[in-house]
Amino acid sequence: MIMSWDPDRIRMAGDRFASLAETTQKVAVSLPMLRPEAYGSLVGTAASMTEPATREANRHFLFALSTVLQEVSWRLRDTSRRYEEVESEALDAIEDLLNQLETDPSEP
């Protein structure tokens, strides 16, 4: 069975991953500071002990996730481009072969 991939769909997937990376980065930048007083005294005290470390940890995680998503995007786009190059080279080789067969001097 011959498998074939559609380079346009691979490129579209790359575009989607790029969009996800951008959105994830925007979320990371816009994470609000926690307001411990909004949780009452017991939870508020615990929350105040974990901030701003929790917010920074979440930001680092989201930035790392954004980087991974962007890398996947680049690789998908590159795969699409390379796939199209291979297809083009294969078509050129077939065309050359057909031209050679048409001009074969051994034909009667």
Q: 41 and 104 in contact (C-beta within 8 Å)?
A: no
- Higher model confidence: residue 1 or residue 53? 53
Domains of the chain, residue spans: 8-102
Could you tell me the pTM of the whole model?
0.71
For 33-73, write each residue's pLDDT tens digit. 877 777 788 788 887 888 888 889 999 999 999 999 999 99
pLDDT of residue 37: 76
For 13-30, write each residue's pLDDT tens digit. 999 999 999 999 999 999
What average pLDDT does this structure show over 71-85? 94
Rounded Cα distance, 16 and 33, in Å: 29
